[in-house]
Amino acid sequence: MKTKLFFLAAAFSIVSCTIKEDRLPCPCLLKLDFGIAARYSPLYSVKGWGYGESLFGESINLEDWPDGWSVRVPKGEIEYSAYSALSDCVMKGNAVIVPEGKGFDRIWACHKNLSLSEEETVDRVEPHKQWAEVTIQIKDLPEGELTTEITGNSIGFSLTDLRPVAGLFRTTISNGGKGIVSFNIPRQDDDGLNMVLLCEGMPVKTYELGKMIAGTGYDWNAEDLDDIYLGMDYNKLEMDIYIDPWSGGDTYNDAGMVSVIPFTDCMYPVRSSYGWDDSEINDLQ
C-alpha cells in the first residue's frame, strides 16, 4: 500500500509540473538590432509589454551594445517600442510628451508587434521621425524684440501606437533680430496650430498655421514627418509654404538638419514668392 501511495504522489507531482509549465510560455531570447537606428541617435530607451504586464524597460547606449541588445521574454504575442533619448520631453505613463513652454525634441521612435515562437528571435529596430521642423523667414520686421508663439492641441505621442497625445502645446521662440526662426512640433491630430507674433511682449499678428499647412496636403500620419518652410512679409497678408519631403539622413548628425530651400511658387495664398537668405539659413545649422 505504501508503494502504491508513493507512485500516486509522484505521478500527481509530474502532472502538476507539466500543467504549470504549459501555463507559463517558455522564454525566447529577443535580440534587437539597432544597426539602422544607430544612424540617428546613439541613445535609446526600449519598453516591452505582453500578457497584460510590462516585460522590460531600459535605457541603452548603443556603443555598449555593438552587436545588438538582448532580453529574455515569454514566447507568444508581445509588443515593444524604442525611442531616442529625450531632452525637453518627458515620459508620462506610456506616452512621450513635451511640457508647456518647452520645445519638442527630435525624437526617433518605432512600435512593433511580435509573435515569438522560436528559442531566439532577432528583430530590426527601424525608428521613424516623430517631429516636423518648421522654419519661418519674416521680411520687413518692425523694430523691437519680436518673438513667435506657437500653440497646438497635441503634446506628444503614445508609445503603444505612435498616435498623437492630446494636450496644450505651447512654445515661444525669440527671433533674435534675424527675421528667421526654427522650431520642432510633434505629430498633430487636427488643424489647430496657431502662430502669434509678439512685439515687446504684445500680440501684433495671428496666423492659423494649422489650416495653412493643411492647405498643402500635409500628411500628419506619415511614418516620417516632413519639414515645413514658411516665408512671409510682416506688412502684407502674404505667405509662402513649402513642404520639404523627408528623405532621411546618413547619420544622426545630419538627419533633419535645415536645408536651403528656394521658393519658386507661392503656395498659400498664390500672390508672391520669396527666396531664402542662405547666410541666415546656415546660421541655424
pTM of the model: 0.79
CA distances from 37 to 85, 109, 177 (A): 12, 9, 37
* pLDDT on residue 237: 65
User: What whole-number percentage of the chain has pLDDT above 70?
Assistant: 76
- Check if the beta carbon of residue 109 is closer than 8 Å to that of residue 83: yes
Can you tell me the distance from the alpha carbon of 33 to that of 122, in angstroms, rounded to the nearest whole number? Answer: 7
Query: Given a cut of 80, is residue 39 above it in pLDDT?
Result: yes
**Which amino acid is located at 4 in the chain?**
K
Smallest CA-to-CA distance from 263 within 254, 272, 252 is with: 272
Higher per-residue pLDDT: 165 or 173:
165
Average pLDDT over residues 270-285: 36
Can you tell me the distance from the alpha carbon of 111 to that of 82, in angstroms, rounded to the nearest whole number? Answer: 7
Which triple of cell numbers denotes residue 129? 521621425
Query: Given a cut of 80, is residue 120 above it in pLDDT?
Result: yes
* pLDDT on residue 285: 35
